[in-house]
Structure 1
Amino acid sequence: MRLWRRPERGREIPLAMRLLSGPVIAAMRLIQDLTVTGTENLPASGPAIFISNHTSHLDGFVVAVALYQAGIPPRFMAKKELFAEPLGTALRALGQVEIDRDAPGGAIEQMAEILDEDWSLIIFPEGTFTHDPAGWPMRAKTGLARLHEARPNVPIIPVSHWGNERIIHQWTGRIRWPRILHRTERVLLHFGSPIELTGATYREQADSAMTTIAHEVARLRAELGRPMGTPPSERFEPEALNHRLRRQARQDAKALRLAMKKVRRAKLRARVRRLFGRP
């Protein structure tokens, strides 16, 4: 299904969102060739939790436009740092939700209240761009599982996409102008069927959600002619990598101290030998 069509589900759309939707959709049409599938899996009414992989600065725009065109006002959970003025005024007018990541308990309660008001939420469970070297979805935070526990009857819709990362690099922010100017980059987005979180712990449940998205990402990459095989059985975990790097740094620092100690001892012995005229 092609993306560029008018909303048809009759949901309430905030005024600021209606005013900005035209320019945003036009801009997205200019820079990428976007195709959306799976809209039959979207709920006809009531709230839903949309969870997506995160590879680029464009992800939020792509998911938001796809939902808006399906008649679902896109509301994101965004870190509070983004709500500094003047951007904060615009985000609040668009109905976006400020979240304090240092107070996870309050964030869950805040999201639950929004769902109770019949609004849907868009969440990037990874919390940031993927650090996985191959671009696979990495290990998610457990907030999704905690929110599901608080509101178990709200459907969870997986959103998988691929292609944005080839337009704007996620870490350097470098824009690949030839791809934009010639609109040569295909981007695929798929809304999956509602999923059940499986596992005995929050961690296992969060991992099960990302595994579903990862397998769909693999299918999209193959469809785009960039197959990467099957996703890894273990999700990439930045915290574990940081721990290993810190441990390695401590080990390197210890080895450096020992080496410098040996150098100082050797210099001291050399001075003593010179002092007493020994070779």
Structure 2
Amino acid sequence: MKRTPIAQKLPWSYHVVIGTVRPLLMAATRRQWSGGEHVPPTGGFIASANHYSEVDVFMMAHFLVDHGRAPFFLAKSGLFKVPLLGKALLHLEQVPVHRATSRAGGALVEARQALDEGKCIAIMPEGTLTRDPDMWPMKAKSGVGRLALASRVPVLPIGTWGAQEVLDRYARRPGNLLKRPVQKVKAGPPVDLSDLYDRADDPAAQVEATARVMAAITDLVAELRGETPPETPYVMKPGEGRRAKGQK
């Protein structure tokens, strides 16, 4: 697929990343993409996808970049403390999320500003790799609902599948890249949240908005997998957010 040129102004480091990482992804994987017509060509929007591998973010970003939009991710604040990586993320204008602290709301303020500037903010609403045994999307945190209702920008649901063939959940080593695993990505039409806009500060409305986004994502993942998802999403248990000792 020929990449659509990105019209917006990007940091020079972002162009370096695209020029370096995209050819590697093109060489190491095959792509089965659909729904690109739903990607807004201009203006701020939220791109929201499922999270089941440490590399699925690259598949999501690759899809968006090739459709003319460069995503700016909400990322764990801890990543910004890693030497070199942290500086790189800041230069790439990614947005740190300080969880369970008084600074947590700051990420949404920065995200809204980025959306007002016409950027694409990318979110993995689950906040961490899904704990569902079969890697279906699990119940998400309400951050995407809060941001969506506060900003009123389109929320583009994206389903991805196949990244686990590149790097399985919790794996330390990549899979057999000689097989050039297929990366399936499908975008759906923006999720309709208009009836909730007047309740942007209502936690119940934020939860409902998040549930609608995750339902749309799950439907897309089901289409990509050709399988039926669980009737109710998996709910992460207290303490399950940390990887079990010795877990691979």
**What is the correspondence of 1:1-279 to structure 2 with a 5 Å cutoff?**
2=1, 5-84=2-81, 85-102=83-100, 103-152=103-152, 154-176=153-175, 179-183=176-180, 185-197=181-193, 201-222=205-226, 228=227, 230-239=228-237, 242=240
In the alignment, which residue of structure 1 is the partner of 2:243?
Answer: none
Alignment partner of 1:238: what SS? Answer: coil
Q: TM-score, normalised by structure 2?
A: 0.86
Q: TM-score, normalised by structure 1?
A: 0.77
Alignment partner of 1:138: what SS? Answer: coil
Q: Which sits farther off after the overlay, 136-145 or 199-208?
A: 199-208
In 2: Cα distance, 1:215 partner to 1:158 partner: 10
1:112·1:151 contact (CA, 8 Å) conserved in 2?
Answer: yes
Alignment gaps of 5+ in structure 1: 223-227, 243-279
**Percent of residue pairs bearing the same amino acid type:** 33
In the alignment, which residue of structure 2 is the partner of 1:249?
Answer: none
Q: Shift in Å at residue 26 of structure 1?
A: 1.4
In 2: Cα distance, 1:233 partner to 1:211 partner: 11
In the alignment, which residue of structure 2 is the partner of 1:273?
Answer: none
Alignment gaps of 5+ in structure 2: 197-203, 241-248
Q: Shift in Å at residue 108 of structure 1?
A: 1.9
Cα RMSD, aligned residues only: 2.0
Q: Shift in Å at residue 233 of structure 1?
A: 2.1
| Rg (Cα) greater in structure | 1
Aligned AA (2:35): G
Residue 14 and residue 68 in structure 1: after superposition, are their counterparts in 2 closer, same or farther (change >3 A)? farther
In 2: Cα distance, 1:134 partner to 1:19 partner: 36
1:46·1:119 contact (CA, 8 Å) conserved in 2?
Answer: yes
Q: Which sits farther off after the overlay, 52-61 or 105-114?
A: 105-114
Question: Which structure's residues are more often helix, by fraction?
Answer: 1
Alignment partner of 1:201: what SS? Answer: helix
Aligned length: 230
- Greater RCO structure (CA 8 Å; 6+ sep): 2
1:207·1:235 contact (CA, 8 Å) conserved in 2?
Answer: no
In 1: Cα distance, 2:150 partner to 2:209 partner: 14
Q: Deviations over 1:225-271 (max 9, x none)?
A: xxx3x2122111113685xxxxxxxxxxxxxxxxxxxxxxxxxxxxx
In the alignment, which residue of structure 2 is the partner of 1:261?
Answer: none
In 1: Cα distance, 2:134 partner to 2:66 partner: 31
Segments of 4+ moved more than 4 angstroms: none
Q: Which sits farther off after the overlay, 132-141 or 21-30?
A: 21-30
In the alignment, which residue of structure 2 is the partner of 1:258?
Answer: none
Q: Shift in Å at residue 95 of structure 1?
A: 2.0
1:101·1:107 contact (CA, 8 Å) conserved in 2?
Answer: no
Q: Shift in Å at residue 203 of structure 1?
A: 2.2
